[in-house]
Amino acid sequence: MSGAAKSEWSAKNPYYTNITENYILNGEGSKKETRHVVFALGDSGLDYKVGDALGVIPENPPHIVDELIEAQGWDKDSIVTTHNGERTLYEALKKDFEVHMASKKFVQSLAQKVVASGIKINVKMVSRSRGDAIWNASENEPLPPELKPSAPSDDPADKVEHLNTDEKAMEDYLWTRDYVDIMREFDAKYSPEEFFELAGRVKPRLYSIASSHDAHPGLVELTVGIVRFSYHGRNRGGLCTQFMADEIGNSDQKVGVFMSPTKSFVLPEDKDIDIIMVGPGTGIAPFRAFMEQRVFDGGNGRNWLFFGDQSSKTEFYYKD
């Protein structure tokens, strides 16, 4: 084991497996949620060495998929075609596109939707003044920056234009909103096919492996910091971490994984060499694996692991 031979499983062809253990490492009262998650490698033939990472294929939270379908009045059982072939609309939204956060492309597309669904009224500004600055339309000069409105009006088309012309405003807007928020705000309707063109495809996430395969044959273990936040009265968070915390491990649901081997992040071949490791927070993951491997290999080299986090009472992961 631990030779990490090239395998048939990859990001495009992941191995579907179960989680055998999934528990919180933080002590009571912690503000963080860090989990130890163990995957079975079953009959995959997958192997790894310490320092490698595991690729995990995430899925969207069911409540967000349901809200999206409801916001658009779509039929969840209708058959659609995506880059992954024919499937129900529900499955496509759950597995093929990242619907937990909105894309910039989607907000840009509102420029067509909002104007087309409302009455477009042209209002011409004839003059504007602020402090000593005065501008008259008759001068054929563009409005100077200091006289440009700093906030958009309540008109939806105006707001979309503001977002599409001010990068910072777009960034701030997207930080706290997903597709459901935006569709509700602008009452904008899309066909599933239009939506697929605008949403990003699901991408795998990588996690440093926190175990030695020699010490845990047939298993691969991770240390995962779960990303959760709440805006506009709705709970949301990171795609893959929420998936691992809330969906898999609590049911028979399978999850797609593959190995992402490292060339440079490796233990010294000489087992008698001393090593110093620094891994705060979930950064401890690969060094837990290094420690396990060093114990398994039984050399004379000494090991120092420096670890830190918010509180020693609640975040002292793997204290034992």
Residue closest to 244 by CA, chosen among 14, 13, 21, 9: 21
Q: Rounded CA gap, 87 and 301, in Å?
A: 55
Question: 178: which residues sit within 8 A by CB, 6+ positions away?
Answer: 64, 99, 100, 101, 102, 234, 236
169 neighbors 113 (Cβ within 8 angstroms): no
Q: How far is the CB of 289 from ligand FAD (least distance, A)?
A: 10
Q: How far is the CB of 237 from ligand FAD (least distance, A)?
A: 7
Of positions 19, 25, 53, 257, contacts ligand FAD by CB under 6 A: 53
Interface characters, 64-103, with ligand FAD (x: CB under 6 A):
------------------------------------x---
Show the tokens assigned to 25.
């490492």
- Using CB under 6 A as the binding rule, whether residue 227 contacts ligand FAD is answered as yes
Interface characters, 110-149, with ligand FAD (x: CB under 6 A):
----------------------------------------
55 versus 156: smaller Cβ distance to ligand FAD: 55
- Using CB under 6 A as the binding rule, whether residue 208 contacts ligand FAD is answered as yes
Of positions 238, 249, 256, 279, contacts ligand FAD by CB under 6 A: 238
Of positions 144, 171, 175, 235, contacts ligand FAD by CB under 6 A: 175
Of positions 14, 58, 156, 279, contacts ligand FAD by CB under 6 A: 58
- Using CB under 6 A as the binding rule, whether residue 170 contacts ligand FAD is answered as no
Q: List the interface residues with ligand FAD, window 267-286 (CB under 6 A).
A: 282, 285
- Using CB under 6 A as the binding rule, whether residue 32 contacts ligand FAD is answered as no
- Using CB under 6 A as the binding rule, whether residue 241 contacts ligand FAD is answered as yes
Binding site for ligand FAD (CB under 6 A): 53, 58, 100, 175, 205-208, 223-225, 227, 229, 238-241, 282, 285
